[in-house]
Amino acid sequence: MTGITRKDMTKLVVFDFDGTLGDTRANIVKAMQDAMHAEGLPEVSEAAIVSTIGVPLEKGLEMLWPELRGEKRAAFITTYRRIFEEDRKTHIPPLFPNVKETLRSLKEAGLVLTVASSRLSDSLKGFLHDMEIDRYISYVLGADNVTKAKPDPEPVLKTMRELGFRPDETMVVGDMAVDVLMGKRAGARAVAVTWGNAVLSELENSGPDFIIGDMSELKAIVGLDNSILPVAKRHLLLANAIVWGGPGIKVLVTGIQSYLAIWPSKIIIWLALGTVATIAVFNWMFSFFVKKYTRRILAFPEEKKSLFAFLPVKGWIMVIFFMCLGISLKFIPGVPTEFFASFYPGLGTALVVAGATFLAHWIKAAQ
């Protein structure tokens, strides 16, 4: 323990594994499909298989093949686990971004970290060892260690009982609604992560205390975030408004200038239609990010946040990519003025609308 002081009461963090710490989706899907073919079962889609991640294997098979029972189900389970373990030896699934760094920070701050999963405990321990994060995990609870699976609270209740923690000192982190429900039914706080296997609406409907888009955000929730240039979190909405709306105005002005440069023209009507189509496409695309980033910012647990937190890492990459792309287009020989006259006004308008929406959310948050 490093002596770091925290305002938060959390002392125990219970993590799900598949879809939360490790990106095992490809391994699970491949093993399930190979076992399906080996046992001669009817084809099921990848989406159907993914929907069973996070629940015990027996229950997942009931969802996929209700008719599979008795010896045939037992044979399938044996085949699936054999294929999965063989594949694990050569294809170690990656950790999700910032998982290892966050686990290290939490451990150094004195928090007790555990894992509760629908996976068998031996498989869990093998993964934690292969991924080199077992040193941070104090207690591992698999499907073979409980009588009732998620969303029943037994895995969390047993963890708290074995390690001596209260519900108000405990936090559950997972990517599925069953993880959230398990934590809430145990009286603990629940954090839903968006990078796993669930649909966002399902996570929201399960009632988590927090929703995060990057594991590093967990440090702020437990009071470990040392923010750079701290500002009121609502001002992150204003930062987004500037980042989206500012370039939008510049792009829009460039497009209008290109438009006026070819006025009048016989193809003006086609350029206008192209602009309208561009606005429609980018408005649809940007509205998703506006909603996602607004929800993320408002869900931050503390009032003060780092100024740079107005975008997650993926958001920064996306913005920088599109900025570079937009700038480079002006310097590519042979790009006709008509393209800028049609595309740029549409893109610029969509960016300005996104910025204005963030601005509206900022005004509302300030009231």
Domain residue limits, the chain: 12-22+94-221, 25-90, 230-366
Model pLDDT for residues 52-93, shown as the tens digit of each residue: 887 788 888 888 998 888 888 899 999 988 998 888 778 888
Would the pLDDT of 156 be above 50?
Answer: yes
Would the pLDDT of 325 be above 80?
Answer: no
In the structure, what pLDDT confidence band is assigned to residue 4 with cuts at 50, 70 and 90? very low
pLDDT cut 70: percent of the chain above it: 95
Type of residue found at 342? S
DSSP of 172-235? EEESSHHHHHHHHHTT-EEEEESSSSS-HHHHHHT--SEEESSGGGHHHHTT----SSEEETTH
Q: Please report how many Cα atoms fall inside a 13 Å half-sphere around the Cα of residue 64, on the Cβ side.
A: 27
CB burial of 308-327 (b: ≥16 within 10 Å; e: otherwise) equals ebbbbeebeeebeeeeeebe
C-alpha to C-alpha distances, 3 to 104, 111, 302, nearest whole angstrom? 15, 11, 21
Displacement of CA 308 from its chain's centroid (Å): 18
In the structure, what pLDDT confidence band is assigned to residue 5 with cuts at 50, 70 and 90? very low
**Listed residue (344, 328, 153) closest to 250, CA to CA:** 344
Average pLDDT over residues 251-261: 87
Q: What residues act catalytically?
A: 16, 18
Displacement of CA 71 from its chain's centroid (Å): 38
Would the pLDDT of 43 be above 90?
Answer: no
175: CB partners within 8 A, 6+ apart: 16, 18, 19, 20, 54, 192, 193, 194, 195, 196, 197, 198, 203
Both tokens of 281, joined, read 């496409």
Average pLDDT over residues 266-282: 87
pTM, 2 dp: 0.61
- Name which of 165-174, 280-289, 320-329 the model is least confident about: 320-329
pLDDT cut 90: percent of the chain above it: 46
Model pLDDT for residues 287-323, shown as the tens digit of each residue: 998 998 888 888 776 676 777 777 777 778 877 887 7
- Whole-number Å distance between alpha carbons of 109 and 95: 21
Average pLDDT over residues 318-331: 78
- Whole-number Å distance between alpha carbons of 129 and 151: 26
Answer yes or no: CATH 3.40.50 is held by domain 25-90: no
According to CATH, what is the number of the domain 12-22+94-221? Answer: 3.40.50.1000
Type of residue found at 92? I
- Whole-number Å distance between alpha carbons of 254 and 256: 6
Average pLDDT over residues 213-217: 90
3-state secondary structure of 96: coil
